[in-house]
Structure 1
Amino acid sequence: MDIYVTNDTKVVELGNCDTDHISLITLLHAFTEKQTGSDKVSSDDYSVWVYLPWCTEKKEVTSDSDLLQVFRWFSNHKEKKIMFEIEKKPYIPVPPITFSNIPNSHIRFMGDNQDLGFSDFEENLLNYKGDNEGAESDGCNSEEVIEANTVRADGGLDNDELGLDDEYGVVGQVASRRALAVVDEAENNVNFDLLEWYQSKTDDEFFSDSENENHDAKMTRVMKGNPFKQLVGIRIEFEVGQTHESVQSLRALLIDYAIQKGFNFNKVKNDRDRLTYACKENGCPWRLHASSLNGDTTMKIKTYKNEHTCHRIYKSEEARAKWIVSSAVYIHLKEDTSIFERIFVSFEAQKNGFMEGCRPFLGIDGCLLKGPYGGVLLSAVALDANNGLYPLAYCICKGETLLSWSWFLEQLHLFLKYPEDKPICFMSDRQNGMIGALKMHWPHASVRYCARHIYANFRITYSGLKLKKTVLKTSKCCEFHQFKKIMADIGSVDVKAKAWLEEIEPCHWSRHAFDPLIKCDHVTNNMTEAFNSMLKDFRARTFLSLMEFIRRMVMTRLQQRNEDCNKWKSDIPPTVNKKIVENSEESRILKILHVGEGKYEMMGLTRAYTANLLEKTCECGQWQISGVPCCHALAGIRHSYGFGSLYGTKDIIIQFIDPSLTKSAFLRTYSSMIHPIPDLCVWVDIEAAHVEPPALKRKPSRLKLLRKRESHEKPKVARSGSVVCEKCKQPGHNKRTCKANTIDGSNKRAANPRADVGASSSHHSNHQAKFDASFSQLPTQRHMAANLRVESSSSQPSTQVQTQPQSQVMD
């Protein structure tokens, strides 16, 4: 079993271990040795917790017996990875131990007062199966009766206390008289619901050592078998003796199992009393036979050969219209309460588009929600053939924790049914819990770190414009020797800055070390940031409003891009074609040396590069990483096929482009559709568990919708400028509020003192004065209208009708 340990934000891989020969001190010793590099046993105290993936909870491990019990749980669930969380305990002085300091100190011994036989009390104690959904066993009693010798000094839990039998058997007979104690119930009750998954796989579960059990009861237990219980997120597994409610439920499970494992059935027998299924591939030994129990509807697996010699198929005959659903939604509820915990949403159309047309590259990120319930939106965004955003899935949860990221990535892996042998890459910001969750649920995936976030952490200690340009240039470097040269330049500026960058493996942040099978050269996580910005004001609304906005946005985007693609005149997407044009312009300065068999040597201004057209490789590394021919490759293509291969017919150049960057891949991405959903007011009422919303989070300050920008980020560009009046040509006001307007209806020249500046002669001035005097005596319509307006407004304040300049009023 592979063991991982989280400490703060770091994830330490301890490797594979033998679960039958490990202790708590061995686990802590291996962890401290990995952390410090010293083999000395640490004297510090640690708290050890383990994450239970089947119930998304964590349990404290306090002793070796608890540790072995945890390993047995993981073995029963067929889990191959286990994640521990180790924290150092702070030093707290221990007060003197007195009787008043011991919890539940009020003990009443009843050893000699009552005769409690096995049939009266201990039989009920051994048959206790934990809390159920009924109201009678909700764990709210004020007292509980336990055996005095089952309380462990280390505070752990015995098997009897957990409702489990020793070594998966049944505890033998106990004496009829034993000292018992009645103690007050502790505050931290045992959560028996965490153990409801437990199923014994030994023969002891069918038989009991009790002498009171008759033969008929034993046979009933044997006939009952091992009931199958399906849990969300757990793979389906069959075994001999497993029972199912009906033949219909067993058929449905077999269909899901065949699609899960990737094979087709040969239904040898398929009636209401017998099921015999075999693998359809000739020579494959897989076979399952089940039949009903004594004419009952219960089906029991009698024969099961769990072995496949055939290869996995990716087109199942069982995935018919009745099985295929339009979306996958998993809602996780908090234990014992129907309070919303988290939700995962992804439509079948999104899944088909990603698996058939997109490159295996996903950006994952989380953004805070500003609504009344708070929370975080975790999202996974891909890129189509035209480098456009392709939202794949999202999850609404409480926060960015290891538990939330683990649940989201686990549901994403189960929904996609992603093959283990197919490469995939994740781009992340290294948020809390993200890297550890990727190691657990996507162990074969490559992980990239956003270069912008790396520089944001880098500039806290090492700032400067030169270092900024050099670091970003290093992340975009596609050739190893150039990468070494740039790192040497950083070392010449600051040796510690170079050492800081060398602590991060180049495969996480520099192009030259990226996986060439991904065919994507992105070094930032801007695609998820762009998706978060598309949510706009809906981040401040309720969860349902946000989910409806995302659904409608994705639904219309699928159809709109499908229509846009049909208008393309070329088989090369526009962004890819633009990149080819830019590279072809750079190839004009290269000197071409053809050596045969599609191999070239390109002489540039600074150095030479070699390219191989048959293998689609270039020494600069850009062609292998991006999937688009670089300038050196385009020069060789132009030499081999002529100038028209780049600007004439596109049939030649498309042969050298990766198939995931073509029009056909783009059409496959957007070939599916999301069907519209009727309005909420016409939904049919169904009987289902009522889900309560999470607690409201009201902050004392005003709600802030804009994100906090970092210190080195530029502020948002705002519109600036001043208004210029069209009349007086002065800034600060417009013609409607210009104070040059008059109230008595005089002409514009009289209202503007600068109107007479341009007079050229005294004759003209005298003539103008006479004209003004005679004109002022005429009862013009404007003058009459102004007087009428003043008289009609006499009851209003004078300031509302005063439009003269301030200088004229003072005069």
Structure 2
Amino acid sequence: MDQIESNPTIRVRALQEQVQKEYQVGFSIHKVFKPKYIKKKLVQGDYNKQYDVLRDYILELQSTNPETTIKLEFDLEPNLSAATIRFKRMYVCLGGMKKGFRAFLRDFLGFDGAFMKGPFLGQILTAVGVDSNNGIYPLAYAIVETKNTDSWKWFLECIGDDLDLYANSNFTFISDRQKAAISQLFPYVEHRFFLKHIHNNMRKTWRTNEYKEHLWNCATARTVLEFNHMMKEFNSYDIEAYNWLKQIPPQHRARSHFTGRAVSDMLLNNLCAVQTKCVGQLTPSATNIMKKNVNWASQYTTRWNGLDKYQVQGPWQDQHVVEMVERVCSCRKWELTGLPCKHVIAVLNDKADNGEEVGELHTYAHRVHLLETWKVACMYKVETMKGRAMWPISECPIKITPHLHHNQPRRPKKKRRQSVEEKIQKKGDNGASGSGSQIHVTSGNGKLTRKVIKVTCSKCKNKGHNARTCKFQGGK
């Protein structure tokens, strides 16, 4: 029992060896497997019984977290004459997270899905926002039977009801190309794709770092002219890869074609920061960006056209036009991120040198990046819950049973399929060591090839096996 509590995933073979060593008695693996299964259920709980208390859990969650939205769907409509009903889907959006998301003033949501483990498999869909410090902010999740267009549409409909989204809403979504569901429900939203997923798909055919650099150069270009230039360079490097990338519309993958409605030029997921001992007017991430922009701005010169425009020129043949009334710069960083770029700061420095009143620098940043906005949004918390013994009891007499799962007619996979990048990194960390005789290495063209390496046994010093499989060859 102690072994299983400390390590529920302990292998039966390892548990068998420990029991035999402790009691000095031989046990078959079958006699060890059954007690482990029983004890594991006592430690983790019975999965079937978890569905019985699902309604009680919902009542407790809604009572401790006001304005929480929870939606349940079943395979069939509830029938009062039936004793049980089969679970299908569940959607949860906590009230505190919903209020905090609205307080961030950022109409930006990212969607993704992952597999669930256990006896009742399914998919968990998540919706996350981006807070004022550019950290991930979880908003809602759903447990569905599978990741398809129907389940994504249901999840998006639930999100739309919670956030009052309509077909003509000016929102920005970023996802792993759930294009069908999003375009059907919200045809006017700006839909971006995760660049990492695009890169992973590209690596299936084009695996060298040069392709990754060209992809990133095209994606991070902020103007259409710069984007066209980078795409032309990619075409010169490899026309087949260029034609493959060209099939993905640039408004889904390139900053040059993004709008500024989300006040973010994000292309990937990032890590969540913690709000501790922050000072100043802007969030920590915005403050760091502004410090870099201030340092770069000192190397730029400005020319005023006599009205509201300024020509800003730098030492790297970097020349742009800043319109202070419209608050835009031709580099588009101010428009996309909501933070004044180095060209804008150079203009402000020039105006201050000429005796004009320009005010504090943070007043030119979007309200999303203000520390006050971040603190107000973080005031909304997820409330704690009591133990199951103190949950309210649902009066519904119909019990919920788990959904059906049909195993595929083949040996189940024990590990998920790794991407090419993960395989290269793993093999690079391990090198040629270990007991295996075959590793993957990267050839000159970037493709994975197999290379056979014979290992040497540390016991008998013979080649072809290791110490674990040694049969005391060589007379030792």
TM-score strictly above 0.5? yes
Structure 2 unaligned runs (5+)? 1-62, 78-83, 432-476
Which residue is 2:33 aligned to?
A: none
Residues 497-646 of structure 1: pairs in structure 2 closer than 5 A? 497-524=241-268, 526-527=269-270, 561=275, 564=276, 567-604=277-314, 605-641=316-352
Residues 23-62 of structure 1: pairs in structure 2 closer than 5 A? none
Residue 327 of structure 1 contacts residue 348 of structure 1 at CA under 8 Å; is this kept in 2? yes
Q: Which of 666, 674, 680 is the equivalent residue of 2:382?
A: 674
Measured in 2, the distance between the counterparts of 1:486 and 1:673 equals: 45
Residue 373 of structure 1 contacts residue 697 of structure 1 at CA under 8 Å; is this kept in 2? no
When residues 651 and 377 of structure 1 are mapped into structure 2, their CA distance, relative to the original with a 3 A threshold, is farther
Greater CA drift, 580-589 or 407-416: 580-589
The CA deviation at 1:603 is: 1.4
Verify: 1:369 aligned to 2:116, yes or no. Answer: yes
SS of match in other structure, 1:339 = strand
Measured in 1, the distance between the counterparts of 2:389 and 2:190 equals: 45
TM-score computed with the length of structure 1 as normaliser: 0.41
Residue 599 of structure 1 contacts residue 612 of structure 1 at CA under 8 Å; is this kept in 2? yes
The CA deviation at 1:590 is: 1.9
Residues 61-100 of structure 1: pairs in structure 2 closer than 5 A? none
Residues 67-216 of structure 1: pairs in structure 2 closer than 5 A? none
The CA deviation at 1:695 is: 3.7
Structure 1 unaligned runs (5+)? 1-321, 532-556, 721-811
* Bigger Cα Rg: 1
The CA deviation at 1:440 is: 2.2
Which residue is 2:7 aligned to?
A: none
Which residue is 1:693 aligned to?
A: 402
The CA deviation at 1:599 is: 2.4
Residue 448 of structure 1 contacts residue 507 of structure 1 at CA under 8 Å; is this kept in 2? yes
AA aligned opposite 2:100: G
Matched length:
357
Measured in 2, the distance between the counterparts of 1:420 and 1:356 equals: 22
AA aligned opposite 1:367: A
Measured in 1, the distance between the counterparts of 2:405 and 2:353 equals: 68
Which residue is 1:401 aligned to?
A: 148
Which residue is 2:227 aligned to?
A: 483
When residues 514 and 380 of structure 1 are mapped into structure 2, their CA distance, relative to the original with a 3 A threshold, is same
Verify: 1:428 aligned to 2:137, yes or no. Answer: no
When residues 499 and 573 of structure 1 are mapped into structure 2, their CA distance, relative to the original with a 3 A threshold, is same
Residue 425 of structure 1 contacts residue 518 of structure 1 at CA under 8 Å; is this kept in 2? yes
Of structures 1 and 2, the one scoring higher in RCO (CA 8 A, sep 6+) is 2
Query: How many percent identity over aligned positions?
Result: 25
Measured in 2, the distance between the counterparts of 1:498 and 1:719 equals: 34
Which residue is 2:28 aligned to?
A: none
Residues 721-736 of structure 1: pairs in structure 2 closer than 5 A? none
Verify: 1:380 aligned to 2:127, yes or no. Answer: yes
When residues 656 and 420 of structure 1 are mapped into structure 2, their CA distance, relative to the original with a 3 A threshold, is farther
The CA deviation at 1:651 is: 5.9
Measured in 2, the distance between the counterparts of 1:495 and 1:485 equals: 14
Residue 360 of structure 1 contacts residue 425 of structure 1 at CA under 8 Å; is this kept in 2? yes
When residues 484 and 371 of structure 1 are mapped into structure 2, their CA distance, relative to the original with a 3 A threshold, is same
When residues 642 and 331 of structure 1 are mapped into structure 2, their CA distance, relative to the original with a 3 A threshold, is farther
The CA deviation at 1:718 is: 6.4
SS of match in other structure, 1:399 = coil
Q: Which of 95, 101, 111 is the equivalent residue of 1:348?
A: 95
Measured in 2, the distance between the counterparts of 1:395 and 1:358 equals: 24
The CA deviation at 1:461 is: 3.5
Which residue is 1:68 aligned to?
A: none
Residue 380 of structure 1 contacts residue 394 of structure 1 at CA under 8 Å; is this kept in 2? yes
Q: Render the CA deviation track for 1:737-769: whole Å, top value 9, x for unaligned.
A: xxxxxxxxxxxxxxxxxxxxxxxxxxxxxxxxx
When residues 634 and 719 of structure 1 are mapped into structure 2, their CA distance, relative to the original with a 3 A threshold, is farther
Measured in 2, the distance between the counterparts of 1:600 and 1:437 equals: 44
Measured in 2, the distance between the counterparts of 1:378 and 1:606 equals: 46
AA aligned opposite 1:400: K
SS of match in other structure, 2:298 = helix
Alpha-carbon RMSD: 3.1
AA aligned opposite 2:418: R
Which residue is 2:420 aligned to?
A: 711
Which residue is 1:684 aligned to?
A: 392
Residue 372 of structure 1 contacts residue 697 of structure 1 at CA under 8 Å; is this kept in 2? no
Measured in 1, the distance between the counterparts of 2:341 and 2:368 equals: 17
Residues 316-355 of structure 1: pairs in structure 2 closer than 5 A? 325-335=66-76, 338-355=85-102
Measured in 1, the distance between the counterparts of 2:253 and 2:204 equals: 18
Which residue is 1:391 aligned to?
A: 138
Measured in 1, the distance between the counterparts of 2:114 and 2:179 equals: 17
When residues 671 and 642 of structure 1 are mapped into structure 2, their CA distance, relative to the original with a 3 A threshold, is farther
AA aligned opposite 1:385: S
AA aligned opposite 1:464: T
